[in-house]
């Protein structure tokens, strides 16, 4: 079994990933921004090289780097934190990799593809045509991949990249920068308005279909590989909203329909065949199965009535939080960087707390 560090370990993806790795018998160490109890837990900001010294005082076989600031709107409003956490933070992890020699599993995002006329997004697409990400969050994740490529060429470091597509499900606590599923479900339950941009399509990947694939990256680690990791359930955002309303009993009159989101990609449909062949990725959960489970979890956590502590205080644009259509891409680890984290887990997206009583920086959905 391996000794593994997970950055952003208290995020939406980080938490279940840590549990799954432990269940497989690995020795798992955690790192995130918040204070927490645990002999194998470090509180550290990934953008602080000094704080990482205690984390890398020992050797690891693998490091899952999930810590990041997450989300389109979060990246526009808190761009300093996004660039500091995502770019400086990833550079720090790469510097430590050169010193310590571990194998790195990096969670990137579907956002790196930007807008394209391609019907399917395959991993080699950025090598065939220019990439034009639409927002600072997307730019930061593409910069991360370029950083990794440069370190691979310069130092020969072993890195595997995973481009996550719209993960969702129980464990994603609401705030105004979360993923679109989280946004819609919470707002519908609490009688809050939200906006649906028409003509936008996504694949949606339930969290329980993602975690097994992430854990297999250890046993099937292939240096230099990049994989699309997403679902097969390709749906319009409007379909998602209709399903959420049906499952929550939400008021359709609170939904505003709009034609265009200038900072977001219209359609994202990944080719996941490589991940299926080499990582055993096999997403099966449909929205009709996953959304009711997410609704049930949110009811348990927040209840189904009243506005909650965030109710009525934001602009009501469901695509404002997270990344709008794309929150949950990389979802997984804690933010470990200034101010929040993307899910890339916990509170990865950066602004606000992931759950009551927890610090605001956790994982990144991507």
- Hey, where are the domains in the chain? 3-364
Residues 6+ apart with CB under 8 A from 121: 110, 113, 228, 268, 269, 270, 271
Residues 6+ apart with CB under 8 A from 335: 8, 11, 32, 33, 46, 67, 68, 69, 70, 85, 341, 342, 344, 346, 347, 348, 349, 350, 360, 361, 362, 363, 364
- Range of weakest confidence among 132-136, 251-255, 292-296, 302-306: 302-306
The mean pLDDT value for 161-167 works out to: 96
Tell me the CB-side half-sphere exposure of residue 168, using CA atoms within 13 A: 36
The mean pLDDT value for 86-90 works out to: 98
pLDDT at 345: 37
- Cβ atoms within 10 Å of 2's Cβ, excluding its own: 17
d(CA 311, CA 313) in angstroms, rounded, equals 6
User: Span 3-364: which CATH code?
Assistant: 3.40.50.720
pLDDT at 92: 98
Determine what percent of the chain is predicted with pLDDT higher than 70.
Answer: 81
**Range with top average pLDDT, 45-54, 297-306, 338-347:** 45-54
Residues 6+ apart with CB under 8 A from 225: 160, 161, 278
CB 306 within 8 A of CB 319: no
The mean pLDDT value for 191-209 works out to: 94
* 268 band by pLDDT with thresholds 50, 70 and 90: confident
Show the DSSP H helices in 176-222 as ranges.
Answer: 180-189, 207-219
Res. 274: pLDDT tops 80:
yes
Res. 43: pLDDT tops 80:
yes
Q: What is the DSSP letter of 346?
A: T
Q: What is the phi/psi pair of residue 309, to 5°? A: -70, -20
Output 268 or 311, whichever has higher pLDDT: 268
Angle (CA) 281 238 133, round 5° = 60
The tens digit of pLDDT for each residue in 312-324 reads 333 333 222 333 3
């Amino acid at each position: 079994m391996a000794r593994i560090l997970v950055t952003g370990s208290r995020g939406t993806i980080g938490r279940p990933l840590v549990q799954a790795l432990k269940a497989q018998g690995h020795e798992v160490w955690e790192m995130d921004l918040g204070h927490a109890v645990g002999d194998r837990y470090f509180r550290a900001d990934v953008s602080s090289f000094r704080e990482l010294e205690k984390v890398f005082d020992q050797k690891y076989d693998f490091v899952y780097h999930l810590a990041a600031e997450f989300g389109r709107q979060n990246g526009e409003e808190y761009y300093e934190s996004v660039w500091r956490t995502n770019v400086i933070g990833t550079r720090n992890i790469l510097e430590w990799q050169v010193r310590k020699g571990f194998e790195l599993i990096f969670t990137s995002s579907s956002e790196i593809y930007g807008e394209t006329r391609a019907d399917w997004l395959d991993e080699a697409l950025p090598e065939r045509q220019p990439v034009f990400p639409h927002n600072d969050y997307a730019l930061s994740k593409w910069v991360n991949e370029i950083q990794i490529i440069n370190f691979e060429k310069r130092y020969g470091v072993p890195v595997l990249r995973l481009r996550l597509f719209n993960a969702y499900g129980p464990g994603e606590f609401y705030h105004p920068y979360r993923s679109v599923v989280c946004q819609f479900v919470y707002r519908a339950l609490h009688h809050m308005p939200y906006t649906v941009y028409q003509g936008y399509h996504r694949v949606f990947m339930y969290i329980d279909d993602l975690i097994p694939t992430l854990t297999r990256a250890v046993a099937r680690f292939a240096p230099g590989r990049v994989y699309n990791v997403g679902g097969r359930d390709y749906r319009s955002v409007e379909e998602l909203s209709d399903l959420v309303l049906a499952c929550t009993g939400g008021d359709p009159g609170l939904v505003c329909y709009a034609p265009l989101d200038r900072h977001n990609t219209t359609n994202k449909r990944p080719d996941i065949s490589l991940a299926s062949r080499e990582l055993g990725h096999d997403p099966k959960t449909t929205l009709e199965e996953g959304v009711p489970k997410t609704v049930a979890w949110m009811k348990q956590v927040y209840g189904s009535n009243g506005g909650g502590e965030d109710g009525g205080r934001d602009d009501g644009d469901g695509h404002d939080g997270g990344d709008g259509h794309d929150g949950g891409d990389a979802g997984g680890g804690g933010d470990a960087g200034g101010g929040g984290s993307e899910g890339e887990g916990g509170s990865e997206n950066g602004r606000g707390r992931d759950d009551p009583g927890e610090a605001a920086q956790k994982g990144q959905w991507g």
